[in-house]
Chains A and B, each alone.
Chain A
Amino acid sequence: MQLPDAEQLLASLTGRIRSDVAANTALVGIYTGGVWLAERLHHDLELALPMGTLDVSFYRDDFGQIGLHPQVKPSGIPFEVEGSHIILVDDVLYTGRTIRAAINELFDYGRPASIRLAALVDRGDRELPIAAQYVGATLKLPSDKMLALEKGIDAKLSLSLYNPKSGG
């Protein structure tokens, strides 16, 4: 299956977000792919507020089934959440459960004025009422495949499809 070029999708995503950026706009990337994207967006959009990162492991709804993620990374929100306009950034929007967890975690830092969502790929099949305001591409994929963003040694981003058993 031919996957779209991640760098091109990021370029179009950057263009769409740019028109909405204000002085109090803050980006928050979700580990791991969302952080790579947020770093690039933060640089290209020249935002004043520092970028935040979230690892939603402590807020996931499947902790009771699968336990704690083996490699939890520290979340860091280096700006005042209270009253800020946040754009959450993730690589792939799928069931919506990660975004639900991320929104809950953000509210434990304060009450943002608004939260919007940017995703490089929206693969549909939502299990929660969640929608992205900025989407690079919409793809229909078989449910047994996992789509993930990868970062090459040249820092170039690409999309790859794999079977959940063989990858992370």
Chain B
Amino acid sequence: MNNNPQLNKNGELQHLLTTEGLPAPILLHILDTAESFVGVTERDVKKVPLLRGKSVFNLFFEPSTRTRTTFEIAAKRLSADVVNLNIAVSSQSKGETLLDTVNNLSAMHADMFVVRHSQSGAAHLIARHVRPEIHVINAGDGRHAHPTQGLLDMFTIRHYKRDFHNLRVAIVGDILHSRVARSQIHALTTLGTPEVRVIAPRTLLPAKVERLGVHVYHEMERGLKDVDVLLMLRLQNERMLSARLPSTEEYFKYYGLTQEKLALAKRDAIVLHPGPMNRGVEIDSAVADGKHSVILSQVTFGIAVRMAVMSILAGN
């Protein structure tokens, strides 16, 4: 037996809730499987029959058109039936509890739930509650985790850099509120990245972030020196207006990625961003559209990675 709620009694992936605590072979199996799905998405018929007859429910308690769409495309390319529920504007406003909503959908014979929620731990709660034949994928919960984003970033890094064992990776921006950063840090560490840096103002760093095994920098000039991979984070609108930052102009001046700052990194460095981008806030357009940017590849690979996760879960 194990205590990881994501694994079944055989140590196989039952739910994908976080990259934290997932062993390297499971992460690599997902990445390797995704390699095969990249080819499927380039064919005339972009569909395989693996999840034929299965029902995937996208439960979005927090709005996110982009993430929901990528999960929907991934499920449809596996031949599953997909139902999208924007619960922020339906049941919950009528007073139904989270678990009542899940019970109702389980009674409709759901096979898989893709869950996005503003509360950390929502996907865990559902995973503990559902029948053993139902699989849960966390599509982002509060500040906690966004594992498929972390995995697609790993896929993109491996695609361009081949291996994690010689890499210097910098995560830049609002680490404090970022579920993406947490998922990236756990995955990078498990896959053997020797040096992971975080670069942020003190007000946007969690206390004791060093415990995650990262090196902390407050200035781009020092933090970006000789890095191979730059993982930019989105500065959320509500943070811009908070007391944590003086102004977006000020943020851009110190932490916005411009070509001058990018020149401090290695010549063949790659730049990633989970989207949607705030041009002129965390990233300059010249960098976002420049030759180091692999941001649109992330979107393409994201479909293949989500197909891999869904098909592995459905088979376990």
Q: Which residues of A contact B (CB under 8 A)?
A: 55, 57-59, 63, 66-68, 70-76, 104-105, 107-110
Given contacts A63-B315, A76-B39, A104-B49, contact A68 B44 (CB under 8 A): no
User: Does B105 sit at the interface, judged by CB under 8 A?
Assistant: no
Contact between B315 and A66 (Cβ–Cβ < 8 Å)?
yes
B295 at the interface (CB under 8 A from A): no
Chain A residues, Cβ within 8 Å of B47: 108
Q: B45 to A59, Cβ gap below 8 A?
A: no
B316 with A67: CB separation less than 8 A: yes
167-186 of chain B: CB within 8 A of chain A? none
**CB distance A72 to B315 under 8 Å?**
no
Report yes or no: B43 in contact with A63, Cβ–Cβ below 8 A. no
Nearest-neighbor residue (CB-CB) of B46 within chain A: A108
Mark the stretch among B27-35, B212-220, B224-232, B236-244 that contacts chain A. Answer: B27-35
Interface contact B32-A71, CB-CB below 8 Å:
yes
A109 with B316: CB separation less than 8 A: no
Residues of chain A within 8 A of B314, CB atoms compared: 63, 67
- Contact (Cβ within 8 A) B49 A59: yes
Contact of B36 among A57, A66, A67 (CB under 8 A): A57
- Closest B residue to A76 by CB, please name it: B39
**Which of B29, B32, B44, B315 meets A109, CB within 8 Å?**
B44
Contact B312 A68 (CB under 8 A): yes
Q: Which of A58, A66, A76 contacts B48 (CB 8 A)?
A: A58
For this complex, 6 residue pairs linking A to B, each with C-beta atoms less than 8 Å apart, are: A63-B315, A68-B311, A72-B33, A74-B35, A75-B36, A75-B40
B316 touches A75 (CB 8 A): no
Residue of B nearest to A64 (CB): B315
Chain A contacts for B35, CB-based, 8 A: 74
Complex Cα spacing A70 to B312, Å: 9
Residues of B within 8 A of A104 (CB): 49
Chain A residue numbers with a CB within 8 Å of B39 are: 74-76
A109 touches B50 (CB 8 A): no
**Bound CA–CA A24/B198 (angstroms):** 56
Identify the closest chain B residue to A65 (Cβ).
B315
User: For the complex, what is the distance from the CA of A72 to the CA of B314, rounded to whole Å?
Assistant: 15
B48→A59 contact, CB < 8 A: yes
**How extensive is the interface on chain B, given as a class?**
20 to 34
Compute how far the CA of A66 lies from the CA of B12 in the bound complex, rounded to whole angstroms: 12
Known pairs A63-B50, A63-B314. 16 more at Cβ < 8 A? A57-B36, A58-B36, A58-B40, A58-B49, A58-B50, A58-B311, A66-B315, A67-B312, A68-B312, A73-B36, A74-B36, A76-B39, A104-B49, A109-B43, A109-B44, A110-B44
Closest to B40 in A: A58
B45–A109 contact, CB under 8 A? yes
Min CB–CB distance A54 → chain B (angstroms) = 11
Kindly state whether residue B38 has any CB partner on chain A within 8 Å.
yes
Distance in angstroms between the alpha carbons of A73 and B312 in the assembled complex? 14
Shortest beta-carbon distance from B199 to chain A in Å: 36
CB <8 Å contact, B36 and A72: yes
Instruction: Return chain A residues, CB-CB under 8 Å to B44.
Output: 108-110
Tell me the smallest distance from the CB of A107 to a CB of chain B, in Å. Answer: 8
Question: Are A70 and B29 in contact, CB atoms less than 8 angstroms apart?
Answer: yes
Complex-state Cα separation, A66 to B45, whole angstroms: 25
Q: When chains A and B are docked, how far (Å) is the Cα of A59 from the Cα of B51?
A: 10
- How far apart sit A68 and B237, CA to CA, in the bound complex (Å)? 41
Closest 8 CB pairs of A and B: A67-B315, A108-B45, A58-B48, A68-B315, A72-B36, A74-B36, A74-B39, A72-B33
Report the nearest B residue to A107, measured CB to CB.
Answer: B45
Interface hits, B37-63 → A, CB 8 Å = 38-40, 43-45, 47-50
Chain B residues lying within 8 Å of A71, measured Cβ to Cβ, are: 32
Contacts of B49 in A (CB 8 A): 58-59, 104
Contacts of B40 in A (CB 8 A): 58, 75
In the complex formed, the residue of A with least CB distance to B47 is A108
CB contact list, B297-316 vs A, under 8 A: 311-312, 314-316
> Of A59, A68, A108, which is within 8 A of B43 by CB?
A108
Are B315 and A74 within 8 A (Cβ)? no
State A75–B38 Cα separation when bound (angstroms): 10
Which residues on the B side are within 8 Å of A66 (C-beta)? 315
